[in-house]
């Protein structure tokens, strides 16, 4: 076989951090391929080159065809790929994480599995939304009540500022067109935010399904994190777009969200907020390690790729006294 063309796989330290990347790129009805270290996007208007390492997440909509070589490059550069439905409002699948460390994942699982620590993280999330309130002693029921009242106030304020009538959050997840313009805009805006939050979560090695406020869904933690920024980003954008009443409200909303977070600061904030929620002593090197260890109930972990148990070897045992099984390992042949 001849030499395989293409650039060498980059080292993890050489890749841009999540805070330095473009937030998201939505693509539909196009052909996605690869040219050196860039992905190429081709449709009837022509071809554009996008440096893969600058992307945080690629949202692939209907009609997007992507090559194996493009996926190889995207995977090597640590970008996430999320397959979505039309207008980006449905989620189907996503790619792999940027980090090689499981530290955040293990900490997240430990925190969410204990009622006391789970409630503490949930309170911390709500405190980020209510900086002027003391929520340290509130129950989840009280926190939900405060959140509901706050979000209703945000909707009323946005409606008053833009003149867009507001009759509540009503939409059909299976039929995007079956709602009024502002609810369509909200669905499209939130979908973009979910995609960005999801990409940061999986890039950092966390579990999208292990939520602290939301539960029982494969993206519970995505909803937890996205809720931190809706009142600041997606709700105002949705009402502003709805007040313009454009023909393709979904596309205009996506572009507005993209422009609002194009500087990458929201991705940097999401990454920092996740670390602050889950860890108190996070260091950068904890997230770029590529070391596999073995778990130990006393020491925490021991080195991998070490031949343990040599003291248990029986040197006088002949090799032909062993027979291989169809499963893992060997058994002694019956005498």
Domains and CATH numbers, the chain: 103-282 (1.20.120.920)
* Residue 214 is labelled as binding a ligand: yes
Task: Of 19, 18, 20, 25, give the one whose Cα is nearest residue 254.
Answer: 25
pLDDT, mean over the chain: 78
Helix 234-244 / helix 140-162 crossing angle, nearest 10 deg: 30
Task: Convert the pLDDT of each residue in 80-119 to its tens digit.
Answer: 787 877 655 566 666 665 666 788 899 999 999 999 999 9
Question: Which pLDDT belongs to residue 112?
Answer: 95
Task: Convert the pLDDT of each residue in 199-238 to its tens digit.
Answer: 788 878 899 999 999 999 988 999 999 999 999 999 999 9
Task: Of 209, 173, 205, give the one whose Cα is nearest residue 191.
Answer: 173
Strands 91-94 and 293-296: unpaired
DSSP 225-239: HHTTTTTTTHHHHHH
Q: Compare 87 and 163 and report the one with higher pLDDT.
A: 163
Alpha helices by DSSP H, listed for 130-248, are 140-162, 181-203, 220-226, 234-244
Strand extents, DSSP E, the chain: 25-27, 30-35, 38-43, 46-51, 57-60, 64-66, 80-84, 91-94, 293-296, 300-303, 322-324, 330-332
Q: Compare 76 and 316 and report the one with higher pLDDT.
A: 76
Question: Which pLDDT belongs to residue 30?
Answer: 93
Predicted model pTM: 0.67
Question: Which pLDDT belongs to residue 76?
Answer: 74
Question: Which pLDDT belongs to residue 314?
Answer: 61
* Residue 297 is labelled as binding a ligand: no
Task: Convert the pLDDT of each residue in 138-155 to its tens digit.
Answer: 999 999 998 888 889 999
Task: Convert the pLDDT of each residue in 172-189 to its tens digit.
Answer: 666 666 678 999 999 989
Q: Compare 24 and 122 and report the one with higher pLDDT.
A: 122
CB 239 within 8 A of CB 161: yes
Question: Could you tell me the two tokens for 18?
Answer: 């999540």
CB 301 within 8 A of CB 291: no
* Residue 147 is labelled as binding a ligand: yes
Question: Which pLDDT belongs to residue 234?
Answer: 95
Question: What's the mean pLDDT in 309-333?
Answer: 53
Q: How far apart are CA 299 and CA 306, in angstroms?
A: 16
Percent of the chain scoring above 90 in pLDDT: 33
Question: Which pLDDT belongs to residue 82?
Answer: 77
Gyration radius of the chain's alpha carbons: 24
Positive or negative, the CA dihedral 62, 68, 73, 77 is: positive
Identify the band that residue 307 occupies on the pLDDT scale cut at 50, 70 and 90.
low
Q: How far apart are CA 300 and CA 146, in angstroms?
A: 40
Question: Which pLDDT belongs to residue 335?
Answer: 42
Percent of the chain scoring above 70 in pLDDT: 68
Identify the band that residue 121 occupies on the pLDDT scale cut at 50, 70 and 90.
very high
Task: Convert the pLDDT of each residue in 1-44 to its tens digit.
Answer: 444 444 454 444 433 444 555 566 788 889 999 988 888 999 99
Question: Which pLDDT belongs to residue 201?
Answer: 87
Q: What is the dihedral of CA 306, 108, 79, 18, to 10 degrees?
A: -110
Q: How far apart are CA 331 and CA 321, in angstroms?
A: 9
Residues, the chain: 335
């Amino acid at each position: 076989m001849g030499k395989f063309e293409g650039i060498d796989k980059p080292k993890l330290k050489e890749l841009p951090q999540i805070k330095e990347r473009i937030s998201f790129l939505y693509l539909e009805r196009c052909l996605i391929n690869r040219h050196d270290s860039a992905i190429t996007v081709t449709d009837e208007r022509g071809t554009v080159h996008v440096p893969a390492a600058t992307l945080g997440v690629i949202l692939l909509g209907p009609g997007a065809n992507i090559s194996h070589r493009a996926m190889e490059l995207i995977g090597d550069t640590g970008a996430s790929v999320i397959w979505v439905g039309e207008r980006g409002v449905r989620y189907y699948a996503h790619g792999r994480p940027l980090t090689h460390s499981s530290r955040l994942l293990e900490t997240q699982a430990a925190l969410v599995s204990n009622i006391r620590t789970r409630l503490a993280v949930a309170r911390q999330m709500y405190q980020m939304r209510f900086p002027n309130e003391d929520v340290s002693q509130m129950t989840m029921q009280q926190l939900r009540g405060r959140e509901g009242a706050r979000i209703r106030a945000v909707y009323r304020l946005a409606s008053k500022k833009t003149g867009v009538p507001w009759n509540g959050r009503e939409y059909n997840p299976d039929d995007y067109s079956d709602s009024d313009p502002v609810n369509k805009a909200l669905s499209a805006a939130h979908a973009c935010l979910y995609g960005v939050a999801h990409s940061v979560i999986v890039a950092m090695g966390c579990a999208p399904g292990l939520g602290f406020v939301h539960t029982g869904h494969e993206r519970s933690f995505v909803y937890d994190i996205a809720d931190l920024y809706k009142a600041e980003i997606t709700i105002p954008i949705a009402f502003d777009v709805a007040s313009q009443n454009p023909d393709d409200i979904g596309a205009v909303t996506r572009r507005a969200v993209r422009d609002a977070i194009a500087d990458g600061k929201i991705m940097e904030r999401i990454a920092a907020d996740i670390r602050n929620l889950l860890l108190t002593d996070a260091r950068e090197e904890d997230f770029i390690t590529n070391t596999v260890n073995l778990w130990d109930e006393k020491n925490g972990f021991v080195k991998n790729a070490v031949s343990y148990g040599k003291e248990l070897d029986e040197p006088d045992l002949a090799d032909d006294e062993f027979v291989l099984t169809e499963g893992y390992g060997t058994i002694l042949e019956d005498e």
